[in-house]
Structure 1
Amino acid sequence: MGCVKVLSAPKWGFEAVCMPHTKGGLVLNNLGSHVIENILYKISYPVLFPIQTAVECALILHKQIAPRLDEISKIVLTTQEGVEKIMAGGGQAYQRLDREYSLAYPIAYALLRGHLRADSYSDTNAKNPFLQQLMGLVEVQISPLYTKEAKEPHKRAIPNALQVFFKDGSSTQKVEVKYPLGHRFRREEGLSALQQKCQNALKEVYPPKKVIQIETLLNDQERLEDMDFNCLCDLLSFV
C-alpha cells in the first residue's frame, strides 16, 4: 500500500537521506521521538533549507562587500554534497521558479541587498545588473566534512561557508554557519525569531485590538490549551 519506495529509493528515499549509517538496514523501532525532537522550522528566509545557512553567511558579509561590488572576482560557497545539484543558475534566472530553486540567486541577493524576503524574487528585483553579475561569480566547493556532518544523526547539520574574493587578490574572511535558525541546536534563538515573525504576520491582517488579544492568548499556554476550539476559531476569524 502507498508509495512502495519511500524508504528504499536509492537517491531520495528515507534510508538514503536520513539513515545512511544503517547501510541498508533501517532500525525503525529505535527512532523513538527522534523526528519530533529534530524538526526543522523554516523561520528566517524564503529559500530552500540546504542553503539557509549560506544566506546567513551572505548577510554577515553584506556590509563588507557592498562598497566593492565592481571589484569582486568570485564568490566561493563551500557546502555539502548534493547542494550543488539544486543550482539553477550561475547566469540569469529568467523565470521566478528558476530564482526560487536557484543556489546562486538568494546568495547573490543577500550579499547585494542585506536581506532576503518573498518580494526579493520579483521580476523587478531580478533585473538588477549587479545581481546578475554576482550570480555569475558564484562557485561551489564540496566539503567532505560538511557532507559527513550533514549525515550524522546526532548533528544533522546544514553547513555552508562563504568567502568573497576581489580582483586585487584580497578577500573577506571565510564565514561559516553550520546550523540554521530553526535547528534544534538553535531552539531558544529560533523561538524568539518565530515570535517576532508571528507578531509581524498578525499586524498585517488584524486590527491592533485583535492583535493584542491573540498575542495575549498565545503567551498563556495553559489558557490556550484549555480553550474551546470553536472559541479559538472565532478569535482568529476576520469578522
Structure 2
Amino acid sequence: MMTSMSRSKIFNLKKTNIFLSRYSTLQTSNERPNPDNVLVDIANYVHNKEITSLTAYQTAKLCFLDTLGCGLASLKYKQVQDIIKPIVPLNISQGVKILGTSHQFEPIHAGFALGTMFRWLDFNDCWLAKEWGHPSDNLGAILAVTDFLNRTENRKFKMRDVLENMIKAHEIQGIFALENSFNEVGLDHVILVKIASIAVVANLIGLNIQQTIDAISHAFVDGHPLRTYRHAPNTNSRKSWAAGDAISRAIKLAFMVKNSNIGPMQSVLTAKNWGFYDVLFNGNQFKFNLKFNSYVMENILFKISYPAEFHAQTAVEAAMKAHTLLTNLGKSYKDIKSVRIRTQDAAMRIIDKSGPLYNYADRDHCIQYMIAIPLIYGRLTAQDYHDEVALSNTDIDTLRSKMYCVRDDQFTKDYLDPQKRSIPNALTIELNDGTILDEIVVEYPVGHKFRRDEGIPLLLKKFENHLKDHYQKEPAHVENILKISYSKKFESVPVHEYLDQFWLNK
C-alpha cells in the first residue's frame, strides 16, 4: 500500500521531470538573433513613413482639439486635481505646462498628468476592433515631450509635428487592435498606449532606428496591467489613469535608452519560453491585415453626444429616442415592463452588468445604467455617473433590473467588418399594459466616419463649450485660443507657444 509520503515523492518527481522537460533546451547559443520583425516595422514606420493623407491631418486636428477640451473638463473633479499632483509638490520653471492648471512638470510626470486628464471622462475618441482603446491617450506623451524639448533644448516642434505623431501613434495602436485581442488573455489595452507612445517619443527625442527598436523591446517586456479594474466586481477609477501610467513608463524608458544605453532585447516577442508570445499571448504571434499608414486616424470614432463607453453610444442615442417616443405617447419610464437590448459581442463582454454599482467607474461601464438615465431624465452627462444622481433615485436601479442584453451575430459581424466598423444597438420596450413598441435601431453613432459631416460642427461646439466652461471668467482669453486654434497658420505654431495659452500662471 502506497503511503502519503511515497505519493508525495512521486508527485514531486513528476513536477521536477515536467520542469526539466520544459526547460532542458534552454542552454542554446547565446548569439543574438535579428530583431523581431514587429519591432523593425514599428521603428521604420515612425522614422521613415511620410504621412500624405489630408484627411488624416484634418481628422487629427479635430482629435487634438477634442482631447484638449476633454482634458480641461476633467479638472472640474477633485479626484483628477489630486491624482495629477506630484508626490513631492515641486514645479519646474522650464517644465511642461499642464493645460488648465498652474503646474509645470518634468516630462515623465507631465505625460502621466496629461494622459490622465485626457482619459478621465471617457469622452474623446475611441477605436474598436478585436481590442478596444483610445489612441488619443498617446497625445499626453507627444505634448509632454515636444513641449519639454522646445523649452529646454530650443527644439522647433510645431503643431504640425504634433498632428503627424498623433497619426502615427493612432496607427500603431489601432493596427495592433484590429486582429490582436489582449483582453482575451486578461491584459489591458493600455499596453498598446505604451508601445505607440514609446515609438513616437523615441523618434522625437532623437533615437536612431536601432535605439528605437531597443526602446520598443523594453516597452514589451515591461509589466503590463490586468484588465480587472475595468470589469465587475472590481471596476474602479484606475481605468481613468491607466493610460497616464502607461505614458509615463513609455517616456521614462525612451529617455533611459537615450541616456544610458540600457541595451536591446531583440527577440522580446519570439524568445522561446521567456518571450512575450509564450509567456503572455498563449504562444500566438501578432497578426496584421494592414500595413502602417494612416487608416486609423482616418476612421477614428469620436464621442460627441454622450460621455459613455463607446459600445453603448448608439444604445444611449436609441434611449433618447425612446424617451421622446414615450413622452409623445403620454407615457414615461414608469410604464416600462422590460427593455431588450440587442447588441454586439463586445458590449456583452464589457458593459453588460447587473447588481449594485459602487462608483463612477462602475456606472459609466454599465449599459443598463447608460440607458436608464436617458429613459428617466432625457439626458446623459458626466455628472449623472456620480453619487449625487445615482443614489438620489431608486428608480434607476429598478429600471436597470428590467433590462436584459441579447447577443446579435450580425451586429457583431458588422462591428468587426473593416468596411463598416459599426457599433449597433437596438432597444425593444414592452410596456406594463402589454404594448410592445417598435424596435429602435441605431447602427452608427454620430461620431462615426459615416456621419462625419453631421459630427464635425458638433465636435467643435463641444470643444468650445469646454473652453468656455473652464475659462468662464475670461471670455477674451477663450476667443484668443479659438482664433489660434482655427487659424490657417495653426500647424506652424510652436508647441510650447500654443500650450502657453492654456496655462494658468498664478
- TM-score, normalised relative to structure 2: 0.42
Following the alignment from structure 1 to structure 2, what is the Cα–Cα distance between the partners of residues 47 and 29? 29
The unaligned stretches of length 5 or more in structure 1 are 5-10
What is aligned with 1:139?
404
CA distance in 2, matches of 1:154, 1:227: 36
Q: 1 CA distance for matches of 2:375 and 2:385?
A: 14
Is residue 2:322 matched to residue 1:57?
no
Equivalent of 2:491 in 221, 225, 239: 225
Match of 2:337? 73
1:91 Cα deviation after fit: 3.9
Greater Rg by CA: 2
Map 1:181-220 onto structure 2 (within 5 A). Answer: 181-206=446-471, 207-220=474-487
The answer to whether 1:18 aligns with 2:285 is no
Classify the secondary structure of the residue corresponding to 2:332: helix
In the alignment, what sits opposite 1:40? 301
The range that moved more, 166-175 or 133-142, is: 166-175
Q: CA deviation at 1:16?
A: 9.8
Aligned residue type for 1:219: Y
For the pair 1:126 / 2:390, whether they are aligned, the reply is: yes
Q: Match for residue 363 of structure 2?
A: 99
* Matching residue of 2:381: 117
Separation in 2 of the partners of 1:36 and 1:87? 25
Structure 2 residue runs without a partner (length 5+): 1-34, 39-129, 133-173, 181-284
Question: Which amino acid is 2:179 matched to?
Answer: M
Question: Does 1:234 pair with 2:500?
Answer: yes
Deviation at 1:95, TM superposition (A): 3.1
Distance 2:326 2:178 in 1: 37
Q: Distance in 2 between matches of 1:202 and 1:224?
A: 17
* Secondary structure, counterpart of 2:410 in structure 1: helix
Higher mean C-alpha deviation, range 154-163 or range 32-41: 32-41
Cα offset for 1:204? Answer: 1.5
CA distance in 1, matches of 2:359, 2:401: 16
TM value normalised by structure 1: 0.84
How many residues align? The count is 228
Question: Contact conserved, 2:332 with 2:376, CA < 8 A, in 1?
Answer: no
Q: CA RMSD in A?
A: 2.7
Q: Does structure 1 retain, via aligned residues, the 8 Å contact 2:176–2:288?
A: no
Partner of 1:7: none
